[in-house]
Structure 1
């Protein structure tokens, strides 16, 4: 029997198509707490609403709710998966009604050892076109790790205690994603990862203290907060890295400051002051 080599997946590509949906864009705006305009350009991260990694038949889902590995994605022998970060370049806005296409290439696979044990990083390059013109380049990193042992019984815990808003930033916005927001975001992005909605699974199987707030949801809230405080700025690049998880009903401080003309440092800060997401925005004023 031939042993599977996960590195054989490097260079594989796949292309999917859709139509930019103004109604989905308006629902994202509703989720973010503002009025949605079905005719307006999509939010810069709007392609996430149209292309789901979990858009496969039920029979092709793994036990965690994600699409099972070994198809397009390499059969990494580590069961836990998280969104580690993205590096996005926005070339041109996407308009409702445009024909959009995403071509995904597996750029690299890297195995490492961290404090929790073996890790495997899979880097994907998504190129999204709108009516044939390159609109967004999205380099997405996924990290896989071993399953941590879970004590007998549920590992559920109450949300961590709120912390004061941090100082030293140009602006601060505080949010508290709850179970309803997590459900709506999962539905909007067709994300079936069970850590975001299945409380017994996330606490008793994966050992988290509560439902995990989606990394891309927090990244969306962070970018939206920046855009709300800089309405005239045109975002050209957005890069973020997930540092630690956040959980439903916890207060998140979204903060930002300009570090040089057109470059802004952003963070999503968890209770206790720990950075959950570190990000950089580049603008063309």
Structure 2
């Protein structure tokens, strides 16, 4: 799929004092208004769901639906691994409706260019978003022609504390079990941040700053001392915790499942030399799924509770997680919602939140 920005929209309102980023945002929005929504159709293949569960190291799709027990019998009988009609677990739609761009239509870093601004804003990161589920009309395994309808919502310029410009692009995606104007199953609003290509030498300087004083890889006991406690804190009772360590294999598999060629997730050289990251970066969508699974596992009686599908999640990514580094998910009750935080080491002898979300039942 090619970028929306293939022709330039000119406006009499264009000002000479407008920054390059402001102009690119205006062009993106102008082209989006002239183009129809982007629609993809795909079968919700149960085998894709099984591969995702294997990648996540989850033996069961739901508490009373073990995948491993079904596989041998189903392979012999020809039945699907997961029964048709089973609701898709929250977040698992991210393994479907994958990009369809040709190789020569991808960005230099392997990213899909749909809804992307052009150079110099080439460095993309998943920034956060919001998902709302329609519990009465969930996406279902085996649906032969589910649809995804994508529209650009906004493109705005933000500046950080040192004045660096970045473009925040928000896209809204509606999912249905069938084509046309059928009932919406979920609405997924995603925010991406695009930063400028790093100038020569900037990546090396960033790495030197991150790695200053780090002479060895931290051991388990040292990491445990840095991460938040697994017991209740002043922020509220802890419902559940889980530690994660993503390997090169798990990141490669998730990239393959989502047809995501973004090199920051599998090329250490690219991550370090072009992005200034200290190692390969864990996918934002993978962390989002793990947060939702942590919440889902805290619910009693999946199938008796509408398969434990929440009403909504608001989430935000604040710092990257890296391959091979342990990080911790903590689920806490906060008023009428459930807060989930992913904590990792900050490279400076402490810990920091890398992703946070608020889930409403």
Distance 1:242 1:15 in 2: 27
SS at match of 2:30: helix
SS at match of 2:311: strand
Pair 1:47-2:100 in alignment: no
Q: Out of 125, 147, 153, which is 1:101 matched to?
A: 147
Unaligned segments of structure 2, at least 5 residues: 1-6, 11-23, 60-66, 68-80, 302-307
Tell whether the 8 Å contact from 1:76 to 1:120 is kept in structure 2 after alignment. no
Corresponding residue number in structure 1 for 2:82: 38
SS at match of 1:192: coil
> What TM-score do you get using the length of structure 1 for normalisation?
0.89
Tell whether the 8 Å contact from 1:85 to 1:142 is kept in structure 2 after alignment. yes
Corresponding residue number in structure 1 for 2:338: 264
SS at match of 1:186: helix
Tell whether the 8 Å contact from 1:154 to 1:200 is kept in structure 2 after alignment. no
The structure in which a higher percent of residues are helix is 2
Pair 1:120-2:167 in alignment: yes
Q: Out of 178, 183, 194, which is 1:133 matched to?
A: 183
Please say which of residues 199-208 and 119-128 is displaced more in the overlay: 199-208
Tell whether the 8 Å contact from 1:153 to 1:204 is kept in structure 2 after alignment. no
Q: Out of 122, 138, 142, which is 1:79 matched to?
A: 122
Q: 1:227-268, CA deviations, whole angstroms, 9 ceiling, x for partnerless residues?
A: 11224443121221001111001111101111124x101100
Please say which of residues 263-272 and 167-176 is displaced more in the overlay: 167-176
Distance 1:253 1:236 in 2: 24
Corresponding residue number in structure 2 for 1:216: 285
- Aligned pairs, how many? 279
Which structure has the greater CA radius of gyration?
2
1:221-260 superposed matches below 5 A: 221-232=290-301, 233-260=308-335
CA-CA distance at 1:72 after TM superposition = 4.9
SS at match of 2:203: coil
- Structure 1 residues 236, 209: closer, same or farther in 2, change over 3 A? same
Unaligned segments of structure 1, at least 5 residues: none
